[in-house]
């Protein structure tokens, strides 16, 4: 059977996810993936880190603040549709102003 297995770097951070053949007891059969982690990580971790026995959040407070700031800036950015609608509205208002319909 196939299972996700996890390669970690020298600091314990998730490096890559692979599919590997495992036996009925969960042992990795692929020789090139021996030593990889077979324990699935829980959802909700931004920067997955293996402690040797469990997955933990490896994101520092500084990294978290930077990520959240980027997410906030991205959420405030207008979508292409919003920009197109605003441009159309400006054109319509300009045309109505030029015709004297609005001041």
Pick from 58, 53, 57: nearest CA to 38 = 53
Query: Does residue 103 sit within a domain?
Result: no
The confidence score (pLDDT) of residue 35 equals 92
Same domain (yes/no): 51, 72: no
- Identify whether the C-beta of residue 45 lies closer than 8 Å to the C-beta of residue 57: yes
Tell me the mean pLDDT in the region 81-103: 91
Same domain (yes/no): 47, 65: no
pLDDT band at 101 (very low <50, low <70, confident <90, very high): confident
Q: Quickly tell me which residue has 């990795």 as its tokens.
A: 28
Query: Does residue 51 sit within a domain?
Result: yes
Number of domains present in the structure of the chain: 2
Tell me the mean pLDDT in the region 68-90: 95
Domain that holds residue 83: 61-98
Q: Which long-range contacts (CB under 8 A, 24 or more apart) does 93-100 make?
A: none
Residue-averaged pLDDT of the chain: 94
Same domain (yes/no): 68, 89: yes
The confidence score (pLDDT) of residue 100 equals 87
pTM of the model: 0.69
Tell me the mean pLDDT in the region 51-65: 97
The confidence score (pLDDT) of residue 10 equals 95
Same domain (yes/no): 10, 43: yes
């Amino acid at each position: 059977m196939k299972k996700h297995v996890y390669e970690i770097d020298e600091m314990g951070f998730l490096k890559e996810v692979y599919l590997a053949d495992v036996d009925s007891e969960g042992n990795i059969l692929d020789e090139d993936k021996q030593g990889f982690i077979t324990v699935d990580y829980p959802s909700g971790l931004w920067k997955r880190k293996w402690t040797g026995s469990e997955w933990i959040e490896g994101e520092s407070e500084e990294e978290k603040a930077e990520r959240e700031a980027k997410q906030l800036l991205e959420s405030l950015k207008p979508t292409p549709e919003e920009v197109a609608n605003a441009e159309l509205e400006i054109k319509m208002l300009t045309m109505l102003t030029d015709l004297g319909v609005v001041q």
